[in-house]
Structures are given as C-alpha cells and as structure tokens.
Amino acid sequence: MRFALMTEPQQGMSYADQVAIARRAEAAGFETFFRSDHYGSFPGPAGRPTTDAWTVLAGLARDTERIQLGVLVSPVTFRLPGVLAKIATTVDEMSGGRLEFGLGAGWHEDEHRRHGIPFPPIEQRAEMLEEQLQILHGLWEGGDGWSFRGRHYQVEEARFAPRPIGGTGPGRPRLIVGGEGSPRSMRIAARFADEFNITSSEPARVAERFARLDDACRAIGREPDSIRRSAMVGVLVGADEAEVAARFQALLELIGSDANAEEWIAQRRRRWIFGTPDEARAAIRRYADAGCERLMLQDMLPWDLEMVDLLGREVVGRV
C-alpha cells in the first residue's frame, strides 16, 4: 500500500501551518502531500481563515524537497481550463515535476455563492469536468495548433509553452478524478484519468465501485489495470487507547462543541483508519483487499504533527 497525507486547510490553517505539516509528512515518508481546494470554512465554525490551494502549492514547491504535491480536488467551477493548465504547469516546473492533479465537479454551493462563483447544476458541472479534462490533455499533449470546440469551452490554435515536466506521470502531471463512484464519474475517469480516487466509502463499497470502474474501462477498450485506484479516508490514530481518546476529544473540540460534532464523526468513523496502530493496520489491509493501491489519509487534526510522526513510524511502509 502507498500512502499520501491529505489536509483540509480551510479549517483555518495559515501558510506556515501548511509548510510545517508538509515537511513533517515528507520526513515521515509519505509519498504525496495533498490539500483540498475550498474557500469556505468547514467542518465546524464558519469564518475561519482560508487560503488558495494553488498559491499554497506554488509555495510548497519551493519549501519542500522530495514529497509529491497535489490538490484533491480542484472544482471545475473555480478556474477556466486554460488558466488552470498554465497554473498547474507553473507549479509542476517550480517543484521539479512533483505535481499530481485532482479535478472534480465541485459540490459546496455556499462557498460559490459567498465568493461570487457561478454554481450550475451537477449535469452541467459534469459536462464542464469532461471538457476541462479534454483540454488539459490537449494543451499538454497536443501539438501546436491544437483546437477544441465543446459546449462550454473552446480552444483555437493552441500555443502552450512550456510543457509540463511531468515527473510523477506520463510526461505531464498525473490526473486524478475523484468522487463517490457515480456511473458518469467512472466513465469520465476511464476516458481521461490516470487514477480514480473514491471518497466516503467503506472497503466493501470500494470493491464494488472498483468493479464498476473495470466495466467502464472495458466499455471503451481500456485495460482496467492501466488506471490506478485509491481511496480518501479519514485518519485518527494514537499510540494507545488513551491517546486515541485524547485525539478524538481534540477533534470534537475543533469541529465544534455542539451535539452535531459527535454525530458527524460517528457517521464517518466506520470508514476511517481509526484507533491504535494495530487497528489502523488491520483497517488498511481491508482497503488493500478491496483493491486500493493507495490511501489518501485525510487528517482532520492538521496541527497535531505528532500524529503525522506516529503514522510515519507505524503505518507508512508497514502495510
């Protein structure tokens, strides 16, 4: 199993906080450091400080040395595809080719409304996602003069330079399509993605969705083994039961003191990597048995750097 650390900086993390955890993840042996791409503050109280994902990645490209970097995932609504391709290529060059790139349809309507960003219906956002992925491939891999005419975007006689270094993928940043495994998301992933990342799923559901992904690949003549499979799962691990309980309490306090916080965690706990190191490794093996090649461990306690150290000692490279 391969491991990435995934954070939610919209919880109120400063850039300095993000440098600290990215460097700690690098030292702990994580393959990739991912962050979300959100402008609204959640879970927990609204109004906490938020930062722009791609601006932060540009900084981390210079403030880290070896760890791969990525977004999981950027909503198609936030940026035009040509601008996004240029931003991603710039970060890729700044990092020496360490960029991975997750793209999705977006879901958080309130943050769009509060920042003046249009939020069309999901059917339109899914069309936009498909077209943006086509444009990324075309701008990065098509020759000079490549053109595209879709329903939402048009490109005429492209001149895109420099091209990505693509040290983590096939001559360009690795493209990750994420979601909960809807039929359309799988069709899009089968056509355009290097990796499919499933969220909010227990191992049994992961296995079932990956079987559907196999079918989607075969339907277009793609070899199923050519697309990597990963899952984003929450993580809360302690060296012993007392430390697990202390971190659970810290998470309750971070999310909020109202009664909904414990319910929020309870709804997710059965699909998290939760507990002592032995319990964590057992849960990870269940995801491996379901077909996961990589886990993005979603760290909801990103100021607790000791937990990152513990994961490095007891989990990364141990399963």
Residue 1 CA to residue 47 CA, distance in Å, equals 37
For residue 100, list its beta bridge partners.
70, 174
Q: Does the global pTM surpass 0.85?
A: yes
Residue-level pLDDT at 263: 74
Residue 129 CA to residue 132 CA, distance in Å, equals 5
Residue 111 CA to residue 2 CA, distance in Å, equals 32
Q: How far is CA 115 from CA 38, 42, 119, in A?
A: 11, 15, 11
Residue 57 CA to residue 72 CA, distance in Å, equals 12
Q: What is the mean pLDDT of the chain?
A: 94
Residue-level pLDDT at 266: 75
Percent of the chain with pLDDT over 70: 98
**What are 76-87's pLDDT values in tens digits?**
999 999 999 999
**What are 187-206's pLDDT values in tens digits?**
999 999 999 999 989 999 99
Does residue 133 register a pLDDT over 90?
yes
Position 265 confidence tier, pLDDT thresholds 50, 70, 90:
confident
Q: What is the mean pLDDT of residues 205-224?
A: 97
CATH number at residue 246: 3.20.20.30
Position 105 confidence tier, pLDDT thresholds 50, 70, 90:
very high
Q: Exposed, middle or buried, 196 (CB in 10 Å: 0-12/13-18/19+)?
A: buried
Q: 152 in a domain, yes or no?
A: yes
Does residue 257 register a pLDDT over 60?
no
Structural domain of 235: 2-314
| Total structural domains within the chain | 1
Q: What is the mean pLDDT of residues 35-43?
A: 92
Residue-level pLDDT at 259: 55
Q: 319 in a domain, yes or no?
A: no
Q: Which of 163-177, 267-281, 297-311 has the highest mean pLDDT?
A: 297-311
Residue-level pLDDT at 283: 96
Residue-level pLDDT at 258: 57
**What are 46-59's pLDDT values in tens digits?**
889 999 999 999 99
Does residue 305 register a pLDDT over 90?
yes
SS3 track for the chain: CEEEEEECHHHCCCHHHHHHHHHHHHHHCCCEEEECCCCCCCCCCCCCCCCCHHHHHHHHHHHCCCCEEEEEEEECCCCCHHHHHHHHHHHHHHHCCCEEEEEECCCCHHHHHHCCCCCCCHHHHHHHHHHHHHHHHHHHHCCCCCCEECCCCEECCCCCCCCCCCCCCCCCCEEEEEECCCHHHHHHHHHHCCEEEEECCCHHHHHHHHHHHHHHHHHCCCCHHHCEEEEEEEEEECCCHHHHHHHHHHHHHHHCCCHHHHHHHHHHHCCCEEECHHHHHHHHHHHHHCCCCEEEEEECCCCCHHHHHHHHHHCCCCC
Buried b (16+ CB within 10 A) or exposed e, 161-188: eeebbbbbbeebbbbbbbbebeebbbbb
Q: 231 in a domain, yes or no?
A: yes
Nearest in space to 294 (alpha carbons), one of 191, 210, 170, 221:
210
Does residue 223 register a pLDDT over 60?
yes
Percent of the chain with pLDDT over 90: 85
Q: 301 in a domain, yes or no?
A: yes
